[in-house]
Structure 1
Amino acid sequence: MHQNRLLAAIMFTDIVGYTSLMEHDESEALYILEINRQIIQTALKQYNGHCTKEIGDGTLSTFHSTVDALACASKILTLIAQYPKLNLRIALHLGDIIQEGNDIFGDGVNITARLEPLAPCNGIAISQHFHAQIQGKTSYQFKSIGFPTLKNISSKIEVFTWHPSYSSNGADKALSSVSRLSFSLTWLNYKTAFFVFLLALGGYFGWQQKWLSLNTTTITVNTPSNVPESSIAVLKFANIGASLQNQYFNDGLSEELLNLLARIKELKVASRTSTWALPKNVTSAMVREQLNVNYMVEGSIRKSNDKVRITVQLIETKTGFHLWSQTYDRKLDDTLVIQDEIALKITTSLKLLLSAQSLQALANNKQVNALAYEHYLKAKQFLRQPKTKTSLLAAIESFNSAIAIENTFELARAGKCKGLIEFYQLSLSNDDFQSAEKNCLAILKSNSYQSEIYNSLGELYLVSGQFEEAESNFQAALTLDLSSVDALIGIARAQTKLTNYTIAEQYFIRAVQTAPNYGETHEHYGSYLFYQGRYTQAINEFKKVILLNPYYGDAYNSLGAAYFANGDVNRGVQSFQKSIEINENHEAYSNLGTAFFIKKNFVQAANMYQQAIDLSPDDYRYWGFLAESFEHIANKKFQMNDAYAQAIKRAEKMLVINDKSNELLVSLALYYAKINHHYQARNLLNKLKNKDLLADSLYTMSVSYLALNDKVQALNYLSKAINKGYDKELAFADESFMELSKHKRFKELTQ
């Protein structure tokens, strides 16, 4: 029979004292059993669970979501409260299962069953894996009971329990209500609200990094006093040999070894970004201080033709003692085998007992053709370079070469997916998106469980507006690699799009803590803070990015936007100019254009927007900004209408890919209203009227209604925008509302 491997949230329930009840009153016991069955079936239906089987008085069920599983368990405990003789213990775990027909089995099922006796009566026991995924999503106060011995389970698993008595008020809600924070964007007029779209990472597409290589600056962070016992960092291996052309091989092999160790649940592995940000010739003491790890792996690689020599050492950071070292002289074809041997040797040296899941992760590291693997490592090197069409095309070409040699090379397919998505984000071409979508979705046929695959799928869903699917895939990636910065940032970005801002910020902070010396974590967190209207904090994060890399132009652009929003116009303009000085980029040109627009220098503003268009001709925003500038320049009506038409054409293309973007719909409605396409404008505005919009979007809707000569709705949405935090003085100063300046309701709103 065909078997499928799945990652699932697993629930096991068991009736407390059922055997004794059966002995004393069989009819009562059977009645209780039936009530239990009905309650569980009701809860499963409500929370999208599937009951796989009943085992005596126990039940085994699965869910696609840990949140649904916990909510279901909570519902069951609530419902059984009316039946005093029905008492349950519930266990929850997140792990691998094997599905065969209608049955499931495997490590995940075994662990869940062993957790159940540890749950309090009418309470819940969960594993560390499950606990990690519900952080920030529940108000339940789970208590750790340590690492109890689980029968026939060799790995150490931390167990957490919950009971109503743990709560200070005697009861908890299953899921905390996540506050929907409104963005308070204090702009000089509605035009400047479009700064929101012009951070390098913060636009409608969730821009990927355009990251230059890090310098050796590090940011000091407060690390916990207790260093995790089984924690380790993998330093970049040294290149031994005359040819610098082999550096891609050394870097790639170091990263792949780190990724392999990260799949071992018993290890806590420092992220590549933090580790590689450390200076050369770093001491073990510095590694311990900066990364909070007990062990480090370092080594060297000499590559010559079809031979490779890899020397590796395992070092205790506290003492600097070498716990193990070895040299491997092998053929290139054995590279992956060597990685497996190193990983197993490290775990043996640290006296770790590996779970079946960890052993499976190592077993998944299949033999790959040496030439295909070289192409793969070259492609990864191109992906680490600044994001340009040239570097991304080179990466995609190398991934294609790897796949042509080794058609089942799943990591190469995941890398190609990532490269195609990033290329689309630069080109904004529908054809490029369709190519990315086709290649990424093909990965779903894979039976491989590797974080890189789920991260790539998460990016696809994020770009196409399928935010819940994106979050689910990033969560799967994080489960497979708890130190994955890409997964942490991906979850945060998805939660932001889902307006779960509290949860999003928790994951942004986790990303910063995981990789404090990696500029992208600070850049993403800074962008998030910027959109929350927390400009001073955003400025601090963008300064950290620049501290780590003084020659990263996009960071100066983001810093300039934060300065500008915070009222420091001169520093804002200086930062935009510095960004362009380092490397010409469309965001900085557009932001400079907006600065000129505010100063009523509309000709210069139009020139800046045209520069942005020259660099990114398919970005609808810049055409819209250009059209607004032409509105204020004499004899430019034809050019204004043409620019709006170009903006509409490009925005409609984006709508085909992602019709869930409120920002896109708001902008498109405004463009239609400006050129008197009333039907199209009202159709879009009607779609938006029941949505939970941010202050700047509500304000733009108000301007759109004003362009449609609907003063009542214009004032209604102006009121909503102000209630959401839009600055009254800015609204009063906006020339768009000049004709309403004497209107009684307008005066009341802006007083």
Structure 2
Amino acid sequence: MTVSRQLSAIMFTDIVGYTAMMGNNEEKAFSLIKMNRDIHLNAIEPHNGRLIKELGDGMLLSFPSVSEAMLAAMNIQQACEKISEINLRIGIHYGEIIFENNDVFGDAVNIASRIQTLGVPGSILFSKSIANEIKNKSGFELTSLGSFDFKHVDEPMEIFALSNPGFAVPKKADMDGKLKSASEKSTWKKNVWIPIGLLLFLVAAFILFKDQLFGTKGVTLEMRSMAILPFENLQRDSTLYFLTDGIPENLINSLSALETHLKVFSRSATFGLPDSAKTNEHLHKLLNTDLVMRGSLQKSANESFLRCELVDAVSQNQLWGNKYLLDMNDISGLENSILADLMRALKIQSKNEVNENREVDPAAYAEYLMGRHLSYGSTPQESEKALEHFREAIRIDPKYALAYAALANEKVVQGQFGTASTKEIIYEARTALEAAKALDPSIPMIYTVTGALNFYYEWEWQDALEAYRKALDLSPADVQVYIRYATTLAILGRHTESIPLANKAIELDPVSISSLHNLGWCNLLASNFKESHEAFGKALELHPNWIWGYIKKAYGHALLGEYNEAIMLADKAQTLLADGWGSELIQDALAYIYTKSNEKEKADAVIERFLTYASQNTVKDPSTLSSIYYLNGNYEKAIEWEWKAVEQNSSNAYTFYIPLKYDKVFFNSEEHQQIIKAMGFKK
């Protein structure tokens, strides 16, 4: 892990009105994203700029000097002026930032993001730290817009606009409702004329009668949805990282399990959002949430503290807040205290009891949380490290049922990376599940993982459905269960049951790749191509570098005969492959799309690439090679490799039962139907 601190000019850019554009014409919106990216890259290269990352329709960039950042911003806006559909606003701030693993952190990043939101199409706004550097340099005309209060910034900040001819300068009317200026607040305070006696009387009356008027202290019942964000690690203390998502995840699970009026968004709905989307305003628009809970971890002398707050996402008012001493020897006790305080603030009177953590060794619980932190990682190494933590938790506390369930879940995750054999996955996962169930059969994860094993590896379709139903009985707000349950039903052709479950997952998690992919996939299998396009389109709007999104959306266009759109999306997916390969599954998918779209030259190239790879390597998933042979017209080899996939319990062999994947002659052939029957499917 490489970490460095430096002073930089940070720039945020954002396309105004992109979401509406995406809804009207998503193909055009994608092309504008590409044009926007090209404009930025061409403008920043001469000024030593660096594109840190894309955030949907926005860009985060850094520059070594203020002048170069401003010149690049001017070039970007001038280029955008020539394209009527790209209406860009830009925010810039100069300060210390932290570079870590090709990403940036620090107050300067958040401030630049907030400055950008004050802008209008064609504007370049910046902080006083930028203005001080360029005020005496020719070529820059500045206009002060006044001082503004930013969240988590102690003092009001004066914001400036570049007022050179051709650049937009926001008017007061443009900025109303975005942030209240510090001068407006000051003026209001100076003109308060209410007599002190009357004010005190009203306050006293409110205190005396507020309960009769409004009920007990807390959040009104009209507020019905809540987003809990991962906690901030203010000092970037490596010893506290596993708590930043561990504690809020457990709060989400605990609150979701209660039978109340409150809907709590899932972990996947909030934890993967970029910093620019974590403002209360963005969360309210994105999730339609009423409440936002945040937390921050920090050390003071030899003690660690956790500060929590609950905020009204619309009014921005704090509804509850507290500070807790962080005792590493009693994390579960801390979680129970926060949960109890939250329930009081939310006026929750649940029909069911709060399921407090079983008495568990603190060291074992810490190991479990560290494992959960890593289990959401994206590399085989992180998955293996997660397993080490779960095994250590079990070693410390052999009766820790949740650690056994988590270990079993992680073995299933390893199957996605291809780092463990099917037999190893089934054996270790099953052994761990039996231990977990013997110790505590009420843990929902036991049945979620059981369903996955039954579906992907053992092809016990009915057992998988029963396991998912049991998991939902125990955890009715678990998005992962809805996703896996919906997928299984969709594969079995039970689409009228599958789609409502996929929609339920979206209700709890409207923005993550997993829930949107599931909705798109279930609708695709049901031949609901319009709904499938919409789901994958929204996913790509939020996650524009998601390769599988372009591939799955291309499937639908190819099946509809919209070949130009399918080819364009497949080409886009190929450009995002860093190594030109990606995986066996991706190559198989590309071959299918190009073949289905009658793009013979491209299809032949992908098929030849795969066959060359297969001649030089051991194919990890036999089902992909069977598909390649089918697409190449070698049906005998296709059947041969289908049987190999069955013999090896390939986790993707279930695709043999998807009629859309094959022509009718091959799908209904006696040889293919024998394989389907061997897997327990019924025609």
Q: What TM-score results when the alignment is normalised by the length of structure 2? A: 0.58
Q: In structure 2, which of residues 380, 385, 397 is the aligned counterpart of residue 394 of structure 1?
A: 385
Aligned pairs for 1:227-238 (under 5 A) are 228-229=222-223, 231-238=225-232
- Asked if the contact 1:214/1:277 (under 8 Å) is kept, the reply is no
SS where residue 236 of structure 1 aligns? coil
**Partners of 1:233 and 1:296 within 8 A in 2:** yes
Partner of 1:415: 406
Task: Specify the SS of the correspondent of 1:654.
Answer: coil
CA contact (8 A) 2:558 2:566 kept: yes
- Which amino acid letter does the alignment assign opposite residue 650 of structure 1? A
Q: Is contact 2:231–2:294 with CA below 8 Å preserved after alignment?
A: yes
Question: Could you say which residue in structure 2 is the equivalent of 1:379?
Answer: 371
Give the Å deviation of 1:642: 7.2
Shift of 1:397: 2.1
Distance 1:618 1:374, change over 3 A: same
**Counterpart amino acid of 1:383?**
S
Given that 1:257 and 1:343 are in contact with CA atoms closer than 8 Å, whether structure 2 keeps it comes out as: yes
Structure 2 partner of 1:553: 547
Deviations along 1:601-657, whole A, 9 cap, x unmatched?
Answer: 58635423336757881322233244457767xxxxxxx9778645533332328x9
C-alpha deviation, 1:358, in angstroms = 1.9
SS in 2 for 1:358: coil
Q: For the residues of structure 2 that align with 1:608 and 1:253, how far apart are their CA atoms?
A: 46
Gaps in structure 2 of 5+ consecutive residues? 1-52, 59-219, 675-682
C-alpha change, 1:473 and 1:651, in structure 2 (3 Å) is closer
Residue number in structure 2 paired with 1:268:
263
TM-aligned CA distance change 1:354 to 1:594, over 3 Å? closer
**Secondary structure in 1 aligned to 2:505?**
helix
Distance 2:639 2:407 in 1: 35
Instruction: Name the CA distance, whole Å, in 2 between partners of 1:627 and 1:610.
Output: 9
Query: Within the alignment, does 1:310 sit opposite 2:317 as a pair?
Result: no
Is the 8 Å Cα contact of residues 238 and 299 (structure 1) preserved in structure 2? yes
The superposition leaves residues 170-198 of structure 1 with CA deviations (integer Å, 9 ceiling, x where unpaired) of xxxxxxxxxxxxxxxxxxxxxxxxxxxxx
* SS of residue matched to 2:382: helix
SS in 1 for 2:440: coil
Matches within 5 A, 1:642-661: 645-654=640-649
CA 432–497 in structure 1, closer or farther in 2 if over 3 Å, else same? same
Choose 527-536 or 501-510, whichever is displaced more.
527-536
Partners of 1:369 and 1:304 in 2: how far apart? Answer: 26
Q: What is the root-mean-square deviation of aligned Cα atoms in Å?
A: 3.8
**Which runs of structure 2 are paired with 1:12-51 in the superposition (5 Å)?**
none
Deviation readout 1:692-726 (Å, 9 max, x if unpaired): x8895853244457999xxxxxxxxxxxxxxx9xx
| 8 Å Cα contact 2:525/2:660 also seen in 1 | no
SS across alignment from 1:233: strand
2:402 touches 2:436 (CA, 8 Å); kept in 1?
Answer: no
Match of 2:445 in 1: 452
Q: Is the Cα contact below 8 Å between 1:585 and 1:615 reproduced in 2?
A: no
Deviation at 1:432, TM superposition (A): 2.7
How far has the Cα of 1:276 moved from its partner? 3.1
Task: Tell me whether 1:528 sits opposite 2:526 in the alignment.
Answer: no
CA distance in 2, matches of 1:545, 1:392: 25
Name 2:665's counterpart in structure 1.
Answer: 699
- Which of these residues, 567, 570, 589, is aligned with residue 591 of structure 1? 589
Counterpart secondary structure, 1:325: strand
Whether the aligned pair in 1 keeps the contact of 2:536 and 2:553 (CA below 8 Å) is yes
Q: 1:217 to 1:259 in 2, by over 3 A?
A: farther
Q: In the alignment, is the contact (CA less than 8 A) between 2:295 and 2:308 conserved in 1?
A: yes
> How has the CA–CA distance of structure 1 residues 595 and 328 changed in structure 2, closer, same or farther, with 3 Å as cutoff?
closer
Q: Report deviation, 1:261.
A: 2.0
Q: What residue identity is the alignment partner of 1:621?
A: S
Could you tell me how far 1:321 is from its partner in structure 2?
Answer: 3.4
Aligned equivalents of 1:239, 1:303: Cα separation in 2: 10
* Comparing 530-539 and 643-652, the one that deviates more: 643-652
Q: Among 433, 443, 446, which residue is 1:440 paired with?
A: 433
> 1:699-738 to 2 correspondence within 5 Å?
699-704=665-670
Identical pairs, percent: 19
- Could you report, residue by residue, the CA deviation over 1:229-279 in whole angstroms, capped at 9, with x for unpaired residues? 454332221112143563332122221222222222224322222233555
What's 2:623 paired with? 621
1:214 touches 1:548 (CA, 8 Å); kept in 2?
no
Q: Structure 1 residues 641-650 or 416-425, which shifts more?
A: 641-650
Shift of 1:526: 0.8
Q: Residue 321 of structure 1: which of 317, 322, 338 is its match?
A: 317
Tell me which residue corresponds to 2:174.
Answer: none
Q: Deviations over 1:109-137 (max 9, x none)?
A: xxxxxxxxxxxxxxxxxxxxxxxxxxxxx
Note the C-alpha offset of 1:560. 2.5
In 2, Cα distance between the equivalents of 1:555 and 1:306?
A: 47
1:241, 1:302 within 8 Å by CA — same for their partners in 2?
A: yes
User: Residues of 1 paired with 2:539 and 2:491: CA distance?
Assistant: 23
For the residues of structure 2 that align with 1:465 and 1:215, how far apart are their CA atoms? 39
Change (3 A) 1:249 1:519: same
Q: In the alignment, which residue of structure 1 is the partner of 2:513?
A: 519
Please say if residues 239 and 246 of structure 1, whose CA atoms lie closer than 8 Å, have aligned partners that are also in contact: yes
Structure 2 equivalent of residue 258 of structure 1: 252
Query: Residue 332 of structure 1: CA displacement?
Result: 0.2
Aligned partner of 2:348: which letter? L
Equivalent residue pairs, number: 449
For 1:437 and 1:706, how far apart are their aligned partners in 2? Answer: 30
Paired residue type of 2:361: N
Identify the residue that residue 153 of structure 2 maps to in structure 1: none
Q: CA distance change for structure 1 residues 564 and 588 in 2, over 3 Å: closer, same or farther?
A: farther
Match of 2:241 among 247, 261, 279: 247
How do 1:552-571 and structure 2 match up within 5 A? Answer: 552-571=546-565
Query: Deviation per CA, 1:259-300, whole angstroms, max 9, x where unpaired?
Result: 222222224322222233555474545544544444332221
Secondary structure of the 1:499 match is: coil
In 2, Cα distance between equivalents of 1:707 and 1:347:
55
3-state secondary structure, aligned to 1:529: helix
Q: Which has the higher relative contact order, 1 or 2, with Cα contacts under 8 A spaced 6 or more apart? A: 1
Q: Provide closer, same or farther for how the CA distance between residues 611 and 516 of structure 1 changes in structure 2, counting only shifts above 3 A.
A: farther
The amino acid that maps onto 2:363 is: L
Q: How does 1:21-100 map to 2 (within 5 A)?
A: none
Aligned amino acid, residue 666 of structure 2: T
CA positional deviation for 1:485:
1.0
Q: CA deviation at 1:504?
A: 0.8
Offset, 1:506: 0.7
CA distance in 1, matches of 2:459, 2:539: 28
Aligned partners of 1:406 and 1:615: how far apart in 2?
Answer: 42
Deviations 1:10-68 (A, max 9, x none): xxxxxxxxxxxxxxxxxxxxxxxxxxxxxxxxxxxxxxxxxxxxxxxxxxxxxxxxxxx
The alpha-carbon distance between structure 1 residues 596 and 369, as it changes in their structure 2 partners (threshold 3 A), is same
The unaligned stretches of length 5 or more in structure 1 are 1-212, 219-225, 633-639, 668-692, 709-723, 725-751
Tell me which moved more, 275-284 or 444-453: 275-284
How far is 1:348 from its partner? 2.0
Q: Which residue of 1 aligns with 2:330?
A: 334
Report the secondary structure of 1:313's partner residue.
Answer: strand
Contact 1:310 1:329 in 2 (8 A): yes
Provide the C-alpha distance between the structure 2 equivalents of 1:707 and 1:442, rounded to a whole number of angstroms. 38
Q: Is residue 508 of structure 2 the alignment partner of residue 508 of structure 1?
A: no
Could you say what secondary structure the match of 1:331 adopts? coil
Cα contact 1:580–1:588 (8 A) shared by 2? no
Per-residue CA shift, 1:317-374, capped at 9, x if unaligned? 454433332211142011110110111111123333343x323x13xx1243343333
Give the alignment partner of residue 468 of structure 1, picking from 457, 462, 468: 462
Supply the distance in 2 between the matched residues of 1:594 and 1:500 (Cα, whole angstroms): 25
